[in-house]
């Protein structure tokens, strides 16, 4: 795999020790998140919107409606920025100033293109497999009318950076010596709860839904 090779936009300017150059780490963050935050410039102002996405290889697929001004703008091959953030812990330090968070974040810069035909079908499948694995096979397939009303964008992962903080409290030695306040890590956990079946549905909860349920520290969020 090609390592992440930074452009000026994707070069970390601070906390460089938190930067990762392994493409597998980029994929891991993107595959674990559930929504991204899509940033673009609309009428001269920055706009940041939560958006569904999915990844296949070196392509990030973004989901939208053809009626959304942001998605319509993003489809005109303007610069966009897509960020996925996973929160892992609150880090308590002996000093207020050294409090922090453990997190993993991926930032992708580029220009997206609107898909059509087979590419769009593939993108829809990737988006579905990301949000609800198993649903593509289980649920009623997308009709021609539905297909026309949805927009799927593709963004290349060439220009991306990954940042990770995965450490305990990093206090000044004087504060460690003083031992006057609690220091440690409070993990943040994401999990799926019990499925709540629609009252008009008599189909039992399928295995692909059941298997997502349960406590875990490593679940999509």
Residues 126-145 that bind a copy of itself (CB under 8 A): 128, 131-132, 135-136, 138-143
Does 93 sit near a copy of itself (CB under 8 A)?
Answer: yes
Figure out which of the listed residues 21, 195, 211, 218 binds a copy of itself, where binding follows CB under 8 A: 195
- Among positions 97-116, residues that touch a copy of itself (CB under 8 A) are 97, 99, 101, 103, 105, 107, 109
Q: Is 185 in the site for a copy of itself (CB under 8 A)?
A: yes
Angstrom CA distances, 154 to 55, 73, 85, 91, 198, stand at 9, 14, 20, 36, 33
Tell me the three state secondary structure of residue 122: helix
The two beta strands, 35-42 and 150-156, are unpaired
Nearest CB to a copy of itself, comparing residues 1 and 162: 162
> In the range 5-34, which residues lie near a copy of itself by CB under 8 A?
8-9, 13-14, 34
**From CA 54, how far away is CA 125, in angstroms rounded?**
9
Stretch that binds a copy of itself, among 19-27, 53-61, 92-100, 113-121 (CB under 8 A): 92-100
């Amino acid at each position: 795999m090609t390592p992440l090779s930074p452009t000026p936009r994707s070069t970390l300017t601070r906390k460089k020790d938190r930067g990762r150059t392994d493409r597998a780490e980029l994929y891991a963050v993107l595959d674990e998140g559930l929504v991204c935050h899509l940033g673009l410039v609309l009428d001269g102002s920055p706009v940041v919107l939560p958006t569904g996405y999915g990844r296949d290889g070196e392509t990030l697929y973004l989901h939208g409606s053809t009626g959304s001004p942001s998605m319509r703008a993003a489809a005109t091959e303007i610069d966009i920025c897509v960020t996925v953030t996973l929160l892992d812990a609150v880090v308590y330090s002996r000093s207020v100033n050294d409090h922090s968070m453990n997190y993993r974040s991926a930032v992708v810069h580029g220009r997206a293109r609107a898909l059509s035909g087979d590419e769009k079908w593939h993108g829809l499948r990737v988006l579905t497999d990301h949000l609800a694995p198993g649903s593509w096979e289980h649920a009623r397939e997308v009709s021609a009318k539905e297909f026309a009303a949805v927009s799927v964008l593709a963004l290349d992962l060439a220009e991306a950076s990954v940042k990770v903080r995965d450490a305990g409290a990093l206090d000044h030695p004087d504060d460690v010596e003083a031992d006057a306040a609690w220091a440690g890590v409070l993990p943040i956990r994401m999990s799926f709860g019990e499925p709540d079946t629609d009252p008009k549905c008599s189909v039992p909860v399928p295995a692909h839904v059941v298997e997502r349920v349960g406590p875990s520290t490593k679940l999509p969020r």
